[in-house]
């Protein structure tokens, strides 16, 4: 382990605390700005430190070594300290995470054959940092990075086979966890539990060629304790699942199932007893009351009439959706499952479209991927015995992205649930109480720091909304702003957002 010190420094910024243009659903309590230049290679990225604040970081390129500028920001959007970390310029940041009073950065050689990892650990109090060299015999691309009291768990794939690398910080040793690397599958979740164990969920085909869920539980030291296999019913595949342990040691796993592995037809809820016995309940999308509420009135009416006809005739409901499933949320003695429906969009480009190098206008199969389009988010409440309680939805008819990601954030209060996301500099919000809609969808622009200043729509502005701590979220990104006099400036911004 090598160590260094990030020295404290002041970073020029603008902090705005204002209630200007606050809407009925949310309040913008503050704004931090850091000026940036157009020629900078990388923009800032951010990570939540919970109640300790935020970490903003960006990369400056060098000949042999690069520098990462690290900016630690408190919850009042004041800069606590700023400094630099030096790394080999062949290393890329793969994942970041926070655990206790430490901030972790996972690095890997950008060459695929590079097997080892580097973990940089930063003390949030003073910026002191150390590096750990993680030896690894199998080259793989990491998709998961989870911390426990003793170790880092790095999950990924080799030849379409999921695996998890366990690295012990005290012993500075690493090994592949037992039970993996057997067959192709999808790594669904690495979930640390309050009792020190960790559950790892993998979706893979069983002997009947249907997708089942393998739930492996490991001790704090990385030893395999037990394996539970959730087997689907005939003509069903368990495509994706998320886990949550209950105080009575029962375990709930909820996710999506389908006739085929690419599209889901509904949600499933499995209750697993400490003995390993389990039950699974299935709920077709057509059985949900508000799943199709994102549609226009006429389209929604046609769908409901179709559902009614098929139900009367005893026929199966076949609605196929692609759905991203979020972590389960504990809410009012219930659990919430939140998912976002999307579909890949393809276009037939013109001959001068830069996305297509070789284009034959006579061949209509020359289509190119044009991003993912989101249709809506679905929020489903179910009791802790696994039975469905209610459902609601939130339309997302204005989002397209090339990076498949979670957009909708959920804040659950005792008497209401806020659903919100940031797109094109506006926070889109909807407030529900179970299946009731308390306030419909609204769109409220982010405030700027100076009156009369406007967003330059022609520039490449970016923005995301993320959960932070307690009742707070933060919005961040880059903006090019135009003053009333016609001058421009480019900034990295952070907004502190809360509900009203």
Residue 40 confidence (pLDDT): 60
Per cent of the chain over pLDDT 90 is: 62
User: Quick one: pLDDT band at residue 5, thresholds 50, 70, 90?
Assistant: very low
SS3 state at 36: coil
Average pLDDT over residues 9-32: 57
Query: Beta 237-245 vs 368-383: how paired, if at all?
Result: unpaired
Torsion angle (degrees, nearest 10) of CA 359, 361, 366, 368? 70
Residue 417 pLDDT exceeds 70: yes
Residue 14 confidence (pLDDT): 43
User: Quick one: pLDDT band at residue 26, thresholds 50, 70, 90?
Assistant: confident
Residue 369 confidence (pLDDT): 85
Average pLDDT over residues 127-136: 95
User: Quick one: pLDDT band at residue 499, thresholds 50, 70, 90?
Assistant: confident
Residue 466 confidence (pLDDT): 95
Residue 465 confidence (pLDDT): 95
The widest CA-to-CA distance across the chain, in whole angstroms, is: 72
Residue 4 confidence (pLDDT): 53
User: Quick one: pLDDT band at residue 294, thresholds 50, 70, 90?
Assistant: confident
Between the two ends of the chain, the Cα-to-Cα distance in Å is 47
- Torsions phi, psi of 297, nearest 5? -55, -45
Please, what is the Cα angle at 108 between 120 and 112, to 5 degrees?
A: 175
Residue 214 pLDDT exceeds 60: yes
356-389 pLDDT per residue, tens: 544 455 555 567 888 899 999 999 999 988 899 9
Residue 299 confidence (pLDDT): 86
Residue 13 pLDDT exceeds 80: no
Residue 362 confidence (pLDDT): 52
Q: What is the mean pLDDT of the chain?
A: 88
Residue 352 confidence (pLDDT): 59
What pTM does this model have? Answer: 0.88
Torsion angle (degrees, nearest 10) of CA 34, 40, 43, 49? -60
435-475 pLDDT per residue, tens: 999 888 889 899 988 888 999 888 888 899 999 999 999 99
d(CA 329, CA 60) in angstroms, rounded, equals 38
Residue 355 confidence (pLDDT): 52
Residue 310 pLDDT exceeds 90: no
Of 246, 242, 239, 233, the closest CA to residue 273 belongs to 246
45-98 pLDDT per residue, tens: 999 999 999 999 999 988 889 999 999 999 999 999 999 999 999 999 999 999
């Amino acid at each position: 382990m090598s160590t260094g010190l990030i020295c404290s420094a002041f970073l020029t910024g603008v902090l705005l605390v204002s209630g200007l243009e606050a809407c009925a659903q949310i309040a913008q309590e503050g704004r931090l700005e850091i000026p940036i230049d157009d020629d900078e290679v990388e923009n800032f990225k951010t990570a939540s430190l919970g109640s300790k604040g935020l970490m903003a970081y960006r990369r400056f390129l060098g000949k042999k070594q690069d520098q990462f500028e690290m900016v630690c920001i408190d919850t009042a959007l004041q800069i606590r300290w700023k400094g630099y970390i030096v790394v080999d310029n062949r290393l890329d940041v793969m994942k970041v995470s926070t655990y206790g009073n430490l901030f972790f950065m996972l690095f890997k050689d950008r060459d695929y054959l590079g097997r080892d990892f580097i973990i940089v650990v930063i003390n949030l109090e003073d910026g002191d940092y150390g590096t750990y060299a993680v030896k690894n015999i199998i080259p793989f691309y990491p998709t998961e990075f989870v911390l426990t009291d003793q170790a880092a768990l790095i999950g990924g794939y080799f030849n379409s086979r999921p695996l998890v690398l366990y690295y012990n910080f005290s012993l500075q040793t690493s090994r592949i966890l037992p039970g993996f690397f057997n067959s192709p599958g999808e790594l669904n979740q690495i979930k640390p539990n309050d009792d020190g164990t960790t559950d790892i969920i993998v979706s893979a085909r069983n002997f009947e060629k249907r997708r089942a869920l393998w739930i492996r539980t490991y001790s704090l030291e990385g030893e395999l304790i037990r394996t539970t296999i959730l087997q689907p019913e005939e003509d069903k595949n368990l495509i994706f699942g998320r886990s949550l342990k209950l105080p009575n040691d029962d375990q709930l796993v909820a996710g999506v199932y389908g006739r085929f592995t690419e599209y889901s037809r509904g949600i499933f809820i499995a209750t697993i007893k400490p003995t390993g016995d389990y039950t699974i309940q299935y709920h077709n999308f057509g059985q949900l009351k508000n799943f199709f509420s994102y549609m226009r009135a006429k389209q929604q009416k046609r769908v409901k009439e179709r559902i009614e006809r098929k139900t009367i005739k005893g026929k199966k409901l076949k609605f196929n959706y692609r759905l991203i499933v979020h972590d389960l949320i504990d809410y009012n003695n219930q659990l919430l499952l939140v998912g976002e429906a999307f579909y890949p969009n393809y276009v037939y480009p013109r001959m001068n479209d830069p996305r297509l190098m070789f284009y034959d206008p006579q061949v209509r199969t020359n289509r190119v991927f044009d991003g993912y389009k989101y249709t809506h988010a679905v929020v489903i409440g179910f009791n802790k015995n696994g039975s469905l309680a209610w459902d609601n939805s939130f339309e997302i008819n204005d989002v397209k992205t090339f990076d498949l990601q979670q957009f909708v954030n959920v804040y659950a209060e005792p008497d209401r649930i806020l659903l919100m996301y940031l797109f094109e500099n506006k926070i889109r919000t909807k407030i529900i109480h179970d299946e009731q809609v308390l306030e419909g969808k609204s769109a409220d622009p982010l405030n700027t720091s100076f009156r009369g200043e406007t967003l330059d729509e022609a520039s490449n502005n970016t923005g995301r909304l993320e959960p932070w701590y307690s009742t707070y979220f933060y919005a961040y990104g880059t903006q090019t702003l135009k003053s009333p006099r016609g001058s421009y400036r480019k900034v990295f911004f952070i907004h502190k957002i809360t509900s009203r």
